[in-house]
Structure 1
């Protein structure tokens, strides 16, 4: 799947509808190579490989990631989880929007066909839902839903939708198709004949979203990944190239001992084979003799010995492997946290390289070292800024007129030319208040 645009509005700190655009603009960069390397050319449709999102603390950067994560989770689980709409959180600093639905829409390409899918929803019900496709030049509405009614349905191009509606000639409160808090697309995907719907949900759901640091699920996923020889080699090489000093890594299965059972040692021993096992990660580093000659590898417990930066790199590596190998989009919040600037740059270069033929990386960051016209195009740089009324706004560097191709993006950003920087108060007063206390 290739993401072209993601639009959302009335969600958390975003009042108006904003659009994160991954279509490549018709621009020429200072470094001509990045106009080729940083763009995916798929049948003359041009998509950006990476998108960096900048902004001050609390500007709303993470809410962009949360909006996309919420959109995907509702699509994947609205049938199974009737309470999933609790994730929807409208902009509450305006009486105009606090009781209005949130808006979500994704324009994406799958199997060389352009789709536009979205819905309006609050924390209780779905107000509207729509799916369009553009198999050729003209966009076709496959279905449009308002409330509990399907008001338009393309029998020829979306026959599975017609089949499902035909199963229920009369609308009733028990009709699961028109349940207030379930999506029509998700409902269709549960039926054997809903092949296109299921395929589209799988495509949208292939997006990898990493929000927050130190998530236990990420650590377990990485631990499981090294049981696969191909993935393990990639992860170990990733750590080596990251210059963290690790030569190898392995996972040992150890039993999880319940604290109550461990009080009785004999009983515990009897139960060891019945209990669930967990993986104990071991890292290996070179050991040297008195002549500084490497003699062997020394093992260490990974979680207690390795730095937080090394652990994050380990956790992230299998997701990067998965994204690049299977051309999946990957979205990372706080991308640069715990990483050296040179390391974040190398990872961005990895996605912008010619070896990446189909994966897209979207990330939030404060790392201004990435604001280089030798690394990113102007349309790959996005900013988020809050106005005086507490509403976040999203805009791209490519929207600014008069920016020279060889301009110093980093210098101009720090100087406030593009906005999206904090307006800091007089910290000297804090020092004086302490010294005078």
Structure 2
């Protein structure tokens, strides 16, 4: 599970910012909190609230970026660089990232990265036994124009190190050579992070994503069954969703046929079932169909779903059943996590104050974030929803 991540000089965040999912013993036990083999208690959910343009999406991006960089950066086209964007007040300075996670064997791990758009300047992986000891430390030597790499029980041979690309994580690089520890960490066949966030922002729902989700449900019938059960139970007017194979002329070669998978909604009216192409369903139904694909992948295999505007096009009452999937140990046996932004303040009536981050941007275009339970003067018996809406905690539009 992800315990925390920090970052600095990244997009609208200049100073070091920490997103901490661990909670103290003072927080009451709930199904949204997991007691870890390492001794910590870690939340399965974290909501991010703030005004438009405050930096909510930017707060999510480091988690999505680290998941991609560690596991998949080897696949990045040569010469394309590292997709980081420093704050424009420090555009010539590097960006820094770190994260702390635990593994099922009871170990705590820390990963650190310092980089520019062009190259990794420092990268390190630590594992905690009695203390954090490095498995590797990789540092750029500007004078010699090469990397100095120290490793301990990581398993990368000298010939593997010789040509390491400057814009690739050493973990992702080692995984391509079959290094067992790197393969275990990178998990290239199923990344730890499932997200709708890229370096340029949220991937918006579209017809293309309906087709992507349809193919996923077609290839994973267990997820299709869960999606149908959940959508039908959430009173969206659906009896279910059918995935149909349709043949169309290939645009590249009209003489050939191509098979397309199309979702079709099944609706009952006056005792009869009727079909409705999914492109004509409500945006809320389409959004839930796509969101559930990402959520169900994470729930089945573990890891973290990082989703921007989680409630987009959904009624606020849909938040609780969606979040409840992560609290249900039968549905979430691997303690998968959800990190999300939303504009629905109703989430404050669902989650504990330690499971909410508030984001604001100042007059210098610098974003800052604070976990809600760290807000000065906040009380356990506060009506969090009412006080947030009244502006008592900040992170609301200035109108």
Q: TM-score, normalised by structure 1?
A: 0.82
Offset at residue 220 of structure 1 (A):
2.6
- The question of whether the paired residues in 1 share the 8 Å contact of 2:64 and 2:306 is answered with no
CA distance in 1, matches of 2:303, 2:65: 18
Q: Deviations over 1:163-191 (max 9, x none)?
A: x13x37xx9xxx312x3223222221111
**What runs of 5+ residues in structure 2 fail to find an aligned partner?**
141-145, 198-202
Change (3 A) 1:300 1:116: same
Q: Output the aligned Cα RMSD.
A: 2.1
Q: Secondary structure in 2 aligned to 1:317?
A: helix
Which residue does the alignment assign to 1:5? 4
| Partner Cα separation in structure 2 for residue 42 and residue 328 of structure 1 | 14
Counterpart for residue 163 of structure 2: 176
Corresponding residue number in structure 2 for 1:311? 286
Structure 1 residue 68 corresponds to structure 2 residue 78: no
Task: Please report how far the alpha carbon of residue 125 of structure 1 lies from its aligned counterpart in structure 2 after TM superposition.
Answer: 1.2
Question: Which ranges of structure 1 fall in alignment gaps of 5 or more residues?
Answer: 263-267, 289-293, 425-437
Specify the alignment match of 1:89 in structure 2: 85
**In structure 1, how many angstroms separate the alpha carbons of the residues matched to 2:288 and 2:171?**
36
Question: Paired residue for 2:315?
Answer: 340
- Per the alignment, do residues 190 and 371 of structure 1 end up closer, same or farther by CA in structure 2, a change over 3 Å counting? same
Deviations 1:349-392 (A, max 9, x none): 332344434011111011011112xx211210101111221111
Q: How does 1:22-421 map to 2 (within 5 A)?
A: 22-28=21-27, 32=28, 35-43=29-37, 44-80=39-75, 81-92=77-88, 94=89, 97-111=90-104, 112-134=106-128, 136-147=129-140, 148-154=146-152, 157-158=153-154, 160-161=155-156, 164-165=157-158, 167=159, 175-177=162-164, 179-192=165-178, 194-202=179-187, 205-211=191-197, 212-216=203-207, 218-227=209-218, 228-258=220-250, 268=255, 271=256, 275-288=257-270, 294=271, 296-303=272-279, 305-355=280-330, 356-357=332-333, 358-372=335-349, 375-421=350-396
Bigger drift between 200-209 and 324-333 goes to: 200-209
**Larger of the two Rg values belongs to structure:** 1
Q: Give 3-state SS (helix, strand or coil) of 1:313's partner.
A: helix
Shift of 1:261: 5.9
What are the Cα deviations for residues 103-149 of structure 1, in whole angstroms up to 9, with x where unaligned? 12121112321111121111111111111001x32111111111133
Structure 1 or 2: more strand by fraction: 2
Deviations 1:280-314 (A, max 9, x none): 222111131xxxxx2x31112121x2011101111
Inter-partner Cα distance in structure 1 for 2:98 and 2:210: 31
Between stretches 380-389 and 396-405, larger displacement belongs to 396-405
Q: CA deviation digits over 1:70-93, x for unaligned, max 9?
A: 22333334333224435211100x
Shift in alpha-carbon separation, 1:327–1:77, aligned structure 2, 3 A = closer
| Contact 1:78 1:84 (C-alpha < 8 Å) held by counterparts | no
How many correspondences in the alignment?
382
Aligned position for 1:265: none
Supply the distance in 1 between the matched residues of 2:3 and 2:191 (Cα, whole angstroms). Answer: 15
1:298 to 1:216, Cα distance in 2 relative to 1, 3 A: closer
The residue number in structure 2 matching 1:14 is: 13
- Distance of aligned partners of 1:301 and 1:128 in 2 relative to their CA distance in 1, 3 Å threshold: same
Counterparts in 2 of 1:282 and 1:215: CA distance versus 1, 3 Å = closer
In 2, distance between residues paired with 1:113 and 1:191?
Answer: 24
Mapped partners of 2:191, 2:80: distance in 1: 16
Write the distance in 2 (CA, Å) between the matches of 1:298 and 1:351. Answer: 33
**1:369 and 1:23, CA in 2 relative to 1: closer, same or farther beyond 3 A?**
same
Partner Cα distance (2:32, 2:260) in 1: 41
Name the SS of the counterpart of 1:13 in structure 2. coil
CA distance in 1, matches of 2:122, 2:82: 17
Contact preservation (8 Å) 1:74, 1:84: no
SS at match of 1:226: helix
The answer (yes or no) to whether the contact 2:63–2:306 under 8 Å persists in 1 is no
Instruction: Give the conservation status (yes or no) of the 8 Å contact 1:208–1:319.
Output: yes
